[in-house]
Structure 1
Amino acid sequence: MPTDTLAAIEASIAARSPFDRATKLRLMVSGQQVGWLPRAHADILRGMGCVLGPEEDTPSGPGVDLLPGRGDFAVRSAALEALARQLADAGHVRGWRNELFAVTPALDAPALAVVERAAARFLGLLTFASHMNGVIRGEPAFWISRRSQTKAVDPGMWDNLVAGGMPHGSDPLATLVRECEEESGIPASLARGVQAHGRIEVLREIPEGVQWEHVYAYDLELPADFIPRNQDGEVAEHRRIGHAALLAIMSAGTMTVDATLVTLDALRRRGWLAAAGDSA
């Protein structure tokens, strides 16, 4: 693959991934960091009467407590439900999902509360997602998907064949198996054959606030005659694609940042980057 193509992809990722710690506060609950709260959003929360503690220095930088003095999961969750509604009514969050995300410092830590998914990035909460490269068996090619224009986040952009946020109470594999059926019509019996390939961290400023996400990456080898079929209306189209066209999409910045990272990971692991300039 030409060096300038990879450089263009990396430049696109960097341009879409700014993060200035000076404009963020470490969002804390019970002494544990659960997010990166933009200072401007802290001002909005205080203006709406949300209980935030005073800004304090933590061992790793300025921080603020979310709902200090409320030490119960149910009490915190109820307060965050009311806050999310306020934020939505005021136009600060959009794309209400009726789906709960955990407020937690890590996937394997107990949730400290839950909150409506639409408010997670306004608060800069740590979130979790599963992404899957759809690899065509016997060919150096992929299936990818284009996000529906009605999606609240990254509408119309190219994505991995399957990608989905992880709701509270789920896990990376269960999330992926569910999304496989909904987004691409991949039955659970086939989806459970995925190969796990670790975790990629995304930390960047976005219009909604902050995307701090641990993305669990998977590959699934699909039969050559398999045709994905969307079931939930969240995918506008699927495309079977070779290396050169896929790299062109990524270098143009028309694939989501997290999907680009997951795709590059697969290309590197499979040794396909070097040969990518020779395939269509």
Structure 2
Amino acid sequence: MSYIQRINTCNNARLKGYVPFIISGLQVGWLKPHFIEQLAEWSNIFHHDEKSVQLNDNIKGFNERSEMVDKLIHVLVQKQIIKAYLNEPYPVTVGDRSEAIMTLDRSAVSYFGIRSFGQHLNGYVLKSNDIHLWIAHRAKDRYIAPGKLDNMVAGGLPWYTTLKENLIKECAEEAGMNKALVSQAQATGTVSYIAESVNGIKPDTLYCYDIELPEDFVPVCTDGEVESFELIPVNEVMETVRNSEDFKPNCNLVIIDFLIRHGLLDPDQAGYAELARKLHQ
């Protein structure tokens, strides 16, 4: 087992067989041929040939695109092609969130191969200059990764909120942190990967944050997503990441990024440069 294997688990996408999804001349995603068949009757929304699927050019502007496709998503949910409508609009973009050309409900993102965005917070405590990380144990009733280990705070990033606002909300819900404490979190960059799920391609960009916490702080989950928290020495966390599949897969990448930034991985170690490079796909 190795850190690079953890990254490869998330970067497992194979694009062969997928068809580009185009909006206004921009490739924004990838579609499975089987899913394209489900879209065939909506020729008023999509045009497709052997090379690509395109949102019809007569559907113009951010709002019209978003509304037309959203109505379609509701129909696909009713037909049980998509499991459930989540009412969380995500930006559709080839660049930054601010460059979005429409929104798409979170439930449909992987079906269309659209990049999604999230935020992950590493909460750590210094004890005698040794780093300890607060690690969450996900509730066993979670739809995704039940019972797995997680970063102290982690969540999706919908379109309708800023990064600051969403981080405050997630920290309050998942760790019982007040606004003043959250304001001490430091943005440290992003990690990104391209995964493949049963529904399709799932590119992800995660905004990463660190916060050094006082020894007397204990996180408390208020939304039911986390069963418990544990403060673990960083060396034990490293061992768990390297030699087990106990963490929710994308949390491994956030921790590896933390280890690199805090100088906890030796740059002379074989594969160090590859490790750093593969955190950004």
TM-score over 0.5 for the pair: yes
**Contact 1:130-1:173 at 8 Å conserved across structures:** no
SS in structure 2 at match of 1:46: coil
Structure 1, unaligned runs of 5 or more: 1-6, 57-61, 275-280
After the TM superposition, which residues 45-60 of structure 1 pair with which residues of structure 2 at under 5 Å, given as runs? 45-46=39-40, 51-55=45-49
Q: Greater shift after overlay, 33-42 or 114-123?
A: 33-42
Q: Does 1:265 find its partner at 2:254?
A: no
Aligned AA for 2:131?
Answer: P
Aligned CA distance change for structure 1 residues 152 and 107 (closer, same or farther; 3 Å):
farther
Aligned CA distance change for structure 1 residues 46 and 153 (closer, same or farther; 3 Å):
farther
SS in structure 2 at match of 1:137: strand
**Contact 2:173-2:222 at 8 Å conserved across structures:** yes
Q: Which residue of 1 aligns with 2:88?
A: 99
Q: Over residues 40-79 of structure 1, what are the superposed CA-to-partner deviations in whole Å (9 max), with x where a residue is unaligned? A: 32223226767322246xxxxx542134421132322222
TM-score, L = length of structure 2: 0.84
Q: Does 1:10 find its partner at 2:4?
A: yes
Q: Does 1:116 find its partner at 2:102?
A: no
Question: Paired residue for 1:240, among 231, 252, 265?
Answer: 231
Question: Paired residue for 1:80, among 44, 69, 83?
Answer: 69
Q: Which residue of 2 aligns with 1:20?
A: 14
Identity of aligned residues (%): 28
Aligned length: 263
**Contact 2:10-2:193 at 8 Å conserved across structures:** no
Question: Paired residue for 1:253, among 245, 249, 253?
Answer: 245
Structure 2 Cα separation of the partners of residues 196 and 41 of structure 1: 37
**Contact 1:95-1:152 at 8 Å conserved across structures:** no
Q: Point out 4+ residue stretches in structure 1 off by more than 6 angstroms.
A: none
Q: Which residue of 2 aligns with 1:179?
A: 170
Structure 1 Cα separation of the partners of residues 220 and 143 of structure 2: 21
TM-score, L = length of structure 1: 0.84
**Contact 1:140-1:272 at 8 Å conserved across structures:** no
Structure 2, unaligned runs of 5 or more: 267-281
SS in structure 2 at match of 1:227: coil
Structure 2 Cα separation of the partners of residues 68 and 135 of structure 1: 49
**Contact 1:158-1:254 at 8 Å conserved across structures:** yes
Q: By how many angstroms is 1:119 displaced?
A: 1.3
SS in structure 2 at match of 1:174: helix
Question: Paired residue for 2:36, among 31, 39, 42?
Answer: 42
Question: Paired residue for 1:193, among 180, 184, 187?
Answer: 184
After the TM superposition, which residues 200-215 of structure 1 pair with which residues of structure 2 at under 5 Å, given as runs? 200-215=191-206
Q: Greater shift after overlay, 65-74 or 178-187?
A: 65-74
SS in structure 2 at match of 1:218: strand
Structure 2 Cα separation of the partners of residues 266 and 76 of structure 1: 38
Aligned AA for 2:105?
Answer: E
Q: By how many angstroms is 1:108 displaced?
A: 4.4
Aligned AA for 1:181?
Answer: A
